[in-house]
Homo-oligomer: A and B are copies of this chain.
Amino acid sequence: MSRASERAYAAIRAHLLSGQVKAGEQLTEDQLTQITGVSRTPVREAVRRLENELLLVRSDTKRLFVADWSRDDIEEMFTLRQMLECHAAERAARRMTPGQLAEMEAVNRELKAAIALPEPDVARFLDANRAFHDAIIAAAASPRLGQMLARLVEAPVVLRTARTYSPEDLRQSARDHDELIAAFAAGDPEWARAVMGSHLRRAFHTFARTVGPATDARDT
């Protein structure tokens, strides 16, 4: 994307992440031009993108609001992500090249360094974690799958700012990544899928623990 609209996107996103703005609150394009420092045209493009990522929503009369993710919305999102990312892991296990595998090992070393004592660096962990998952998606070589996952992964980022990860959560995550790498090295799609499934499902429960109980137990 071009410079101004990219800047607008990043600025609005940062603004949403910063927590200065409440879920359900209305935003106007004028406010956003002030926040971003660019004119309405690129702001509108950025807003379209954020709408697509479901960070912003529109009322029936085109007013713009900060999206409000319920616990059920989040669970739904995790379920979809699991479905798609397991598929991606399976595809990746079939297609991964030695170079890609080496790259993933490097990323995972970085991830482990980030959580090393004495002081785990959560932001650095999250960056490495994201790079790891992106590498899998890249190896899956499925543009539509990648696009969909990108949208799913974007949204919860908003919520994770206030989240606390225990050192054990971080270490378990690193172990999952080790096992995923082993599955890729073995070229075993079923293994990769299974590890990814438990990895994400556990992540959901870790996440959910801090949010509250489900309101509806019917669903998968």
Contact = CB atoms under 8 A, between A and B. Distances in A.
Interface string A141-160: 01111011000100000000
Given A52-B52, A54-B144, A152-B144, A218 B83 contact: no
Contacts of A90: 220
Closest 6 CB pairs of A and B: A76-B142, A148-B148, A94-B218, A48-B48, A80-B144, A83-B83
Contacts of A54: 143-144, 147
Contacts of A80: 84, 87, 142, 144-145, 148
A1 to B, nearest CB: 9
Interface residues on A, range: 20 to 34
How many chain copies does the complex carry?
2
Given A48-B48, A52-B52, A83-B84, A76 B218 contact: no
A141 to B, nearest CB: 9
Contacts of A2: 62
A84 B86 CA distance: 13
A111 B62 CA distance: 34
16 contacts: A45-B48, A52-B52, A54-B143, A54-B144, A73-B144, A76-B145, A77-B144, A80-B84, A80-B87, A80-B142, A80-B144, A80-B148, A83-B84, A91-B219, A94-B218, A95-B218
Interface in A68-114: 73, 76-77, 79-80, 83-84, 87, 90-91, 94-95
A125 to B, nearest CB: 26
